[in-house]
Amino acid sequence: MEFTFSDRCKDMRPSAIRELFKVIPAEGAITFSAGNPSPLSFPVEEFAEIAADIFKNEATAALQYSVTEGYPKLIEQIRKRLKERFYVGADYDETIITTGAQQAIELTAKALCNEGDVVICENPSFIGSLNAFRSYNLKLVGVDMEDDGISVEKLEKALKENPNAKIIYLIPTFQNPTGITMPLKKRKAVLELAQKYNVFILEDDPYVELRFTGVPEPEIKSLDTDGHVIYCSSFSKILSPGMRLGYLCAHKEIINKVTVLKQVSDSHTNIFSQMLASRFMERYDLDAHIKKIKDLYRSRCSLMLYCINQCFPDCVKHTIPEGGMFIWATLPEGYDSRIIARKALEHKIAIVSGSTFMADQNQISNAFRMNFSTPSDEDIVEGIKRLGDMLKEELVK
Amino acid sequence: MEFTFSDRCKDMRPSAIRELFKVIPAEGAITFSAGNPSPLSFPVEEFAEIAADIFKNEATAALQYSVTEGYPKLIEQIRKRLKERFYVGADYDETIITTGAQQAIELTAKALCNEGDVVICENPSFIGSLNAFRSYNLKLVGVDMEDDGISVEKLEKALKENPNAKIIYLIPTFQNPTGITMPLKKRKAVLELAQKYNVFILEDDPYVELRFTGVPEPEIKSLDTDGHVIYCSSFSKILSPGMRLGYLCAHKEIINKVTVLKQVSDSHTNIFSQMLASRFMERYDLDAHIKKIKDLYRSRCSLMLYCINQCFPDCVKHTIPEGGMFIWATLPEGYDSRIIARKALEHKIAIVSGSTFMADQNQISNAFRMNFSTPSDEDIVEGIKRLGDMLKEELVK
């Protein structure tokens, strides 16, 4: 028979990163292309203890159907941490557990946007979210990044030009892919624009706990006074991504709709994992655990920056992140980083071309993303050296 | 601020069953309203052993990001079981792991249907699926059930009247909510109609392993010759629903699209749970485990049927399921089962009114669903007696 698909997914491409991800490890390349946390960040022994305890004492609760909103104790723990640590969560807000922040983003789009509506995003931005918006036939309008995040001027221009904009999607802290963090002044300006043009901000904040240097900036959600900001984050970068555990904190009217949509999407998030995370926060020191991850990433990021300074040609610029997992390198104008990424692969180095992250998938980018959370020190030294040699050769040609 | 939601979810109501589910247990009522498997069916000790082993020997694989399609070993085990046990899976088919069969159904709708397209379903049918279709603004056309499943004549009428029908959604075996199983002759007729009108059949088969009496009917998918049948099932009723582990077997072109949509929905299904299920099938006897569940449900179903025959007034008809988890009782014409369900609640018995399961949510139904997998023998005896007394009183009035 002939297969015809819905309009919304006719043109969807598989995420370039995940496709790479399937190929690379088998070839034995040095991988700077992943978006993974370090396996050293997984609290394996603690999880083993908790799992044994759950199966001994609370097996039925961990294996039976549960409520869509999430494990009540975990919701309370998240609510408390968001409030006390980040001043996130007003009286009008509620929190729902999602199957990764990915689901929080997908369901927010489904709840708020009709086909053809506009989502404004940083350009570049996280491809998983961009593809979620694309999967509802939403129009992506990318706004250029400056050294300290999205251009406020160009954002206002985009808002003026797109009266059917529904969401401004932002990763204000240690952005994926650039590693850039938006300063307070800009956060305030962006929120004011959202209020002025009556558009939601979807603040995606998965890296916030991974600040290894510098002073924290307030979450945009903490500045919210009337429900314009929808906030999501996840346990992927501080406990385990394989668990698929994220959450959404937003005005209760939005959470009500998202709850109904989550019900039809997967009924509820894996309950054993929710209990695992909850018990971990109850019985162990999450902050001490996060400190270990930050120490590791600080060291790896420093090493990568040091090697870049030693090995890359001067004409290649790069960001200096204060946290998160990524460094963004920019070649001189006119270069196509897809060609550079392919070339790198010939030298058995995997990086991700900037065009992967563009709102317009056909836009050529002269930048690429490097991840420092997964490669070992040895791989960072060797990989950046090889990449530098290759770049010198390519950029001189 | 004022909240405006997408057209598709403006009118969505939370599932009546899950809403009940949140209320009932606190009140100490006897619950025939759940859709849960018995906690006695969870292989707790085996899972505890496997979990300890995974955290000891394969923790990184269980906690890191994984591929969207699912844990390769589990996919292979499912493929093999579907093929050898049910003759399901042709050369052109592939299988993807989903976060419960619920996700398989939601993603199939997203991949195949544009807003306004028609989904034809049994009337009554499973509300979780109906709501998934509603969440994409699809038009539901319910086709009446006969004693042996959907009316073929009325199905053809519905196909003729709805040229934009994309999917016929069916639960042919131990249907939820009726417990009815469609005989082979009808399965063939339905497939012929799907081919004639070029519409997909989405065969939802979560109860197939729970046949406790009678002779199995072939899956519609096993009769498929060209990809018209999309098949989904789950581990919820044979291992654990809290794990959220389902799968979709369909033509590879469909699986390709669904994979892209799953990527933006939740990246992948909880990997620890996938490994848990895979190891269970590898190291333990799944069939012996299922036999224990079937023995339990056979006994509970028999007891419930016995009590119904003893206690219900003769004018109340009911189905006699050969497997699954539900009995469907029908009052004389003109009665509204919502009133009966509310009345039952006053007597501390929870049942689910038939109108909950109707394609048209405003359709009044004179039937209700009773679950026999979760209540204890004592609760079945006491609950059916109380329900019978109440019905005698109500129906005589």
Report the residue from B131, B263, B266 with minimal CB separation from A15.
B263
Q: What is the average pLDDT across B32-45?
A: 95
Q: Indicate whether B23 pLDDT > 60.
A: no
Supply the pLDDT for residue B397: 66
Chain A residue with the nearest C-alpha to that of B48: A55
* Residues of chain B neighbouring A273 (CB-CB closer than 8 A): 270, 272-273
Residues of chain A with CATH 3.40.640.10: 65-283
Q: Where is average pLDDT lowest: A1-15, B233-247, B251-265?
A: A1-15
Please tell me if residue A9 touches chain B, with a CB cutoff of 8 Å. Answer: yes
Supply the pLDDT for residue A396: 74
Chain B residue with the nearest C-alpha to that of A265: B103
Please tell me if residue B22 touches chain A, with a CB cutoff of 8 Å. Answer: yes
**Among A62, A201, A59, which residue's Cα sits nearest to residue A122?**
A201
Task: Report whether B120 contacts B167 (CB < 8 A).
Answer: yes
**Among A101, A183, A171, A109, which residue's Cα sits nearest to residue A140?**
A109
Report the residue from B1, B15, B59 with minimal CB separation from A198.
B1
Interface ipTM: 0.95
Phi-psi region of A334 (alpha: psi -120 to 50; beta: other; left: phi over 0): left
Report the residue from A47, A66, A254 with minimal CB separation from B242.
A66
* Residues of chain B neighbouring A272 (CB-CB closer than 8 A): 242-243, 272-273
Q: Indicate whether B21 pLDDT > 70.
A: no
Continuous segment of H or E residues that includes residue B17: helix B16-27
A150: β partners: A145
Which tens digit of pLDDT belongs to each residue from A319-346?
A: 999 999 999 999 999 999 999 999 999 9
Please tell me if residue B289 touches chain A, with a CB cutoff of 8 Å. Answer: no
Q: What is the three-class DSSP state of A335?
A: coil
Q: What is the average pLDDT across B14-22?
A: 59
Which tens digit of pLDDT belongs to each residue from A99-110?
A: 999 999 999 999
Chain centroid offset of residue B326 CA: 11
B3, A240: Cβ pair inside 8 Å? Answer: no
Task: Report whether A67 contacts A268 (CB < 8 A).
Answer: yes
Supply the pLDDT for residue B25: 47
CATH architecture of the region B7-43+288-396? Alpha-Beta Complex (3.90)
Q: Where is average pLDDT lowest: B16-25, B95-104, B209-218?
A: B16-25
Supply the pLDDT for residue A195: 97
Please tell me if residue B47 touches chain A, with a CB cutoff of 8 Å. Answer: yes
**Separation of alpha carbons A134 and A9, rounded Å:** 8
B135, A271: Cβ pair inside 8 Å? Answer: no
- Give buried/exposed letters for B250-268 (b at 16+ CB in 10 A, else e): bbebbbbbbbbbbbbbbbb
Q: What is the average pLDDT across A300-329?
A: 98
- Placement of tokens 């009917």 in the chain: B217
Which tens digit of pLDDT belongs to each residue from A275-299?
A: 999 999 999 999 999 999 999 999 9
Fold of A65-283: Aspartate Aminotransferase; domain 2 (3.40.640)
Chain A residue with the nearest C-alpha to that of B1: A226
Chain A residue with the nearest C-alpha to that of B59: A44
Computed over its alpha carbons, how large is the radius of gyration of chain B?
21
* Residues of chain B neighbouring A51 (CB-CB closer than 8 A): 48, 51-52, 55
**Separation of alpha carbons A164 and A118, rounded Å:** 6
Quickly count: other Cβ atoms within 10 Å of residue A222's Cβ: 18
| Residues 117-156 in A contacting B (C-alpha not used; CB under 8 Å) | 128, 131-132, 134-135
Please tell me if residue A23 touches chain B, with a CB cutoff of 8 Å. Answer: no
* Residues of chain B neighbouring A33 (CB-CB closer than 8 A): none
Q: Considering the entire predicted model, what is its pTM?
A: 0.96
Q: Amino acid letter at A381? A: V
**Distance in Å, alpha carbon of A55 to nearest chain B alpha carbon:** 6
**∠ CA(B306), CA(B172), CA(B199), 5° rounding?**
160
Phi and psi angles of residue B292, each rounded to the nearest 5 degrees, phi first: -60, -40
Phi-psi region of A198 (alpha: psi -120 to 50; beta: other; left: phi over 0): left
**Distance in Å, alpha carbon of A143 to nearest chain B alpha carbon:** 22
Task: Report whether A79 contacts A95 (CB < 8 A).
Answer: yes
Supply the pLDDT for residue A85: 96
Q: What is the average pLDDT across B371-379?
A: 97
Q: What is the average pLDDT across A144-165?
A: 97
Q: Indicate whether B51 pLDDT > 60.
A: yes
What are the residues whose beta carbons fall under 8 Å from the beta carbon of A280, sequence distance 6 or more?
A43, A46, A47, A50, A239, A286
Supply the pLDDT for residue B267: 96
Report the residue from B5, B259, B270 with minimal CB separation from A257.
B5
Q: Indicate whether B237 pLDDT > 70.
A: yes
**Distance in Å, alpha carbon of A393 to nearest chain B alpha carbon:** 35
Q: What is the average pLDDT across B339-356?
A: 94
* Residues of chain B neighbouring A22 (CB-CB closer than 8 A): 67
**Distance in Å, alpha carbon of A396 to nearest chain B alpha carbon:** 38
Supply the pLDDT for residue A26: 47
Q: What is the average pLDDT across B23-41?
A: 81
**Among B71, B18, B36, which residue's Cα sits nearest to residue B247?**
B71
What are the residues whose beta carbons fall under 8 Å from the beta carbon of B128, sequence distance 6 or more?
A263, A264, A267, B15, B102, B105
Please tell me if residue B260 touches chain A, with a CB cutoff of 8 Å. Answer: yes
**Separation of alpha carbons A47 and A239, rounded Å:** 10
What are the residues whose beta carbons fall under 8 Å from the beta carbon of A338, sequence distance 6 or more?
A353, A355, A364, A365
How crowded is the C-beta side of B298, counted as CA atoms within 13 Å?
12
Task: Report whether B349 contacts B340 (CB < 8 A).
Answer: no
- Which one of A264, A269, A293, A376 would you mutate to disrupt binding with B, by most B Cβ within 10 Å of its Cβ? A264
Fold of B64-283: Aspartate Aminotransferase; domain 2 (3.40.640)
**Separation of alpha carbons A110 and A129, rounded Å:** 12
Q: What is the average pLDDT across A159-175?
A: 98
Distances (CA, A) of B53 to A25, A45, A244, A273: 25, 12, 21, 17
Supply the pLDDT for residue A25: 47
Q: Amino acid letter at B187? A: R
Residues of chain B with CATH 3.40.640.10: 64-283
Q: Indicate whether A350 pLDDT > 60.
A: yes
**Separation of alpha carbons B295 and B303, rounded Å:** 12
Predicted confidence band at B9 (pLDDT cuts at 50, 70, 90)?
confident
- β strands within B154-204, DSSP E: 165-170, 200-204
**Among A281, A289, A258, which residue's Cα sits nearest to residue A97?**
A258
What are the residues whose beta carbons fall under 8 Å from the beta carbon of B187, sequence distance 6 or more?
B172, B217, B218, B220, B223
Chain B residue with the nearest C-alpha to that of A196: B1
Residues of chain A with CATH 3.90.1150.10: 7-43+288-396
Supply the pLDDT for residue B27: 64
Q: What does the block give as tokens for B71?
A: 């844990």
B42, A60: Cβ pair inside 8 Å? Answer: yes
Please tell me if residue A187 touches chain B, with a CB cutoff of 8 Å. Answer: no
Q: Indicate whether A128 pLDDT > 60.
A: yes
**Among A81, A71, A95, which residue's Cα sits nearest to residue A272?**
A71
Alpha helices (H) along A244-327: 252-266, 271-283, 286-311
**Distance in Å, alpha carbon of A5 to nearest chain B alpha carbon:** 5
Q: What is the average pLDDT across B58-62?
A: 97
